Amino acid sequence: MKLLIINGPNLNLLGLRQPEIYGSESMDDCLKRLRQRFPEIEIDYCQSNHEGVIIDLIHKNGMSEAGCDGIILNAGAYSHTSLAIADAIASAMVPVVEVHISNVASREPIRRVSMIGPVCHGVVAGFGLDSYRLAVEAFKEIVAR
């Protein structure tokens, strides 16, 4: 199985940005743990602060045989604002799982509504960087069906 993790804006600052919300570990630390825990799964990773780049990654990896088996997407603030990313997800031929590090339901009102959640296979939120592991676990079940 091959999964692609896509992180959106400001998630390149994990470990530095608002550690009281996002923790003090970097995404590199998270990826290292995921790859050690799931050696049978090829896990690729991309991060962009640009909406169009995220859409292009979904198109390239979610709509071709050369792509991946699933996408784990933490679109950051775009989760709450981007109809364009939602449209790209809806067009994808592979499942997409939305991930959030924080519990967005307990944050500011604008973060409580996801534009991408309704077109995703599922959502994992509020478990810190462990949200990514839970999404990989979900994909193991999804692909096994």
121 given a catalytic annotation: no
22 given a catalytic annotation: yes
Catalytic site residue from 22, 78, 80, 132: 22
Helical segments of 2-82, H only: 19-22, 27-37, 51-62
Catalytic site residue from 78, 80, 100, 132: 100
Residue (of 131, 49, 19) closest to 123 by Cα position: 131
Catalytic residue ranges:
22, 100
